[in-house]
């Protein structure tokens, strides 16, 4: 009887030890869940536990980048989330707009601006899952980000002058914008939300594409939310291909802004979608237009970037007189009499441009006070782009992302590339300077 009881006790004790060992192992893995271990040459070491059911990707861009470059970085992040979504449940958190250099109306409080002010968020959701930052905070129950990955280039540059995909945890090259407070939490600029904080921070050197970081997010990190700062460090994985165009086509402008643009077209440019053959479907996925199917309104649209371009003395920037003379030639060639001007030029330069074209009607959109205060500089820029996108002929400014986004919009609407991909030749260039390359939509 004693022997049988001792065996039973020994069996219970053994099972207890096994259970305790297993429990401590799980705790150890949980504590190490957010540790990231990188090895050079894109060889990442797995050192994590089981990932959460739903995960969130946040991102931001170098503060000096403009509105339209930020739109391009969105497309990269959207397709990164699309790739991550093939393995796990990821949602992209849209970074609020604000503090953009080109927004000159400093009297406006242009921070913490939700994406719905400028874009059709349900349309974005037809491509990948997205939510606004404030919705993310409500879901998490607190203004908390689990992990910041501050992306940077390699201090030593390319190895042997060759580009290769790689990612490594490194010391920060520049002084981080985030500092640890007395509670061990990281504080810094989080889109103007002073209560937002992060629990962990690391600098990561990366050289590659959105797919380069994807294995790190899947295999090396179990944090529920990951914030990629300096998102522009990641290159497009499939530039100009199906995923690129799906992301771009999903970026429809907010209807309240396109309605303002359409009203202006009807009132000042004798232009509407039915006559111009620029009608759109409710869902971007159902819309495919043949190049040349759109005719556009009876006007030429001009994007003439001045300000920093003109001050910098760039050789690809035309003088106002040269630009006006070129537009006059186009008007005569196309037998048109109206010009729509989108520009960041001061009023005196706009007046000068109009004076050179005094035999024609030149109009530009000047927002009423209520529109400017409600939709701010970003909304006014979108109205300008929308009007330019519907012109019979468009000519823009070389290497300007504002111009390039208009090019894409016109491609989507079905304009002939020859009526779309045009730019002014600069004061130090030949009159027959190289024109922009046309990018065909891939469905």
| Residues designated as active site | 65
- Centroid of chain to Cα 207: 19
What's the gap between Cα 397 and its chain centre? 20
β-pairing verdict for 201-207 and 225-229: unpaired
Specify the DSSP element, H or E, that contains 55.
Answer: strand 54-59
* Residue 91 main-chain phi, psi, to 5 deg: -125, 135
3-state secondary structure 351-407: HHHHHHCCCCEEECCCCCHHHHHHHHHHHHHHHHHHHHHCEEEEEECCCCHHHHHHH
Cα→Cα distances 439→71, 109, 275, 386, 435, Å: 17, 37, 26, 19, 13
- In the chain, the largest separation of any two C-alpha atoms, in whole Å, equals 116
Burial string for 342-365 (b: 16+ CB within 10 Å, else e) reads bbbbeeebbeebbebbeebebbbb
Q: Alpha-carbon distance 409 to 240, whole Å?
A: 14
């Amino acid at each position: 009887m004693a022997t049988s009881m001792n065996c039973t006790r020994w069996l219970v004790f053994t099972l207890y030890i096994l259970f305790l060992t297993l429990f401590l192992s799980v705790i150890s893995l949980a504590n190490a869940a957010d540790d990231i271990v990188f090895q050079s040459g894109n060889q990442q070491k797995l050192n994590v536990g089981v990932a959460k059911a739903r995960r969130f990707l946040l991102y931001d861009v170098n503060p000096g980048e403009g509105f339209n470059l930020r739109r391009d970085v969105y497309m990269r992040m959207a397709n990164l989330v699309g790739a991550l979504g093939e393995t796990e449940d990821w949602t992209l958190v849209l970074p609020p707009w604000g503090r953009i250099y080109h927004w000159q109306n400093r009297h406006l409080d242009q921070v913490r601006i939700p994406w719905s002010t400028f874009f059709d968020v349900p349309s974005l959701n037809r491509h990948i899952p997205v939510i606004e930052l404030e919705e993310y905070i409500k879901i998490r129950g607190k203004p908390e980000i689990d992990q910041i990955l501050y992306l940077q280039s390699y201090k030593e540059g390319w190895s042997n002058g060759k580009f290769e995909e790689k990612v490594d945890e490194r010391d920060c090259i520049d002084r981080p914008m985030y500092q640890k407070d007395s509670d061990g939490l990281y504080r810094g600029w989080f889109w103007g939300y002073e209560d937002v904080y992060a629990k962990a921070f690391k600098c990561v050197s990366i050289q590659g594409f959105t797919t380069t970081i994807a294995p790190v997010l899947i295999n090396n990190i179990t944090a529920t939310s990951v914030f990629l700062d300096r998102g522009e460090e990641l290159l497009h994985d499939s530039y100009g291909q199906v995923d690129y165009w799906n992301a771009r086509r999903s970026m429809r402008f907010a209807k309240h802004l396109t309605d303002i643009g359409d009203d202006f077209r009807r009132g000042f440019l004798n232009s509407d979608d039915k006559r111009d053959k620029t009608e759109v479907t409710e869902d971007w996925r159902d819309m495919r237009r043949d190049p040349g199917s759109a005719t556009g309104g009876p006007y030429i649209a001009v994007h003439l970037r001045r300000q920093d371009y003109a001050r910098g003395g760039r050789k690809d920037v035309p003088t106002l007189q040269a630009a006006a003379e070129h537009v006059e030639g186009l008007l005569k060639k196309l037998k048109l009499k109206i010009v729509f001007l989108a520009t960041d030029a001061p009023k005196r330069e706009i007046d000068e441009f109009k004076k050179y074209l005094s035999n024609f009607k030149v109009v530009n959109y000047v927002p009423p006070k209520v529109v400017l205060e409600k939709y701010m500089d970003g909304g006014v820029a979108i109205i300008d782009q929308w009007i330019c996108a519907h012109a019979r002929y468009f000519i823009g400014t070389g290497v300007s992302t504002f111009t390039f986004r208009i090019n894409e919009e016109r491609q989507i609407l079905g304009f002939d590339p020859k009526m779309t991909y045009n730019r002014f030749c600069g004061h130090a260039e030949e009159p027959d300077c190289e024109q922009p390359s046309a990018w065909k939509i891939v469905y």
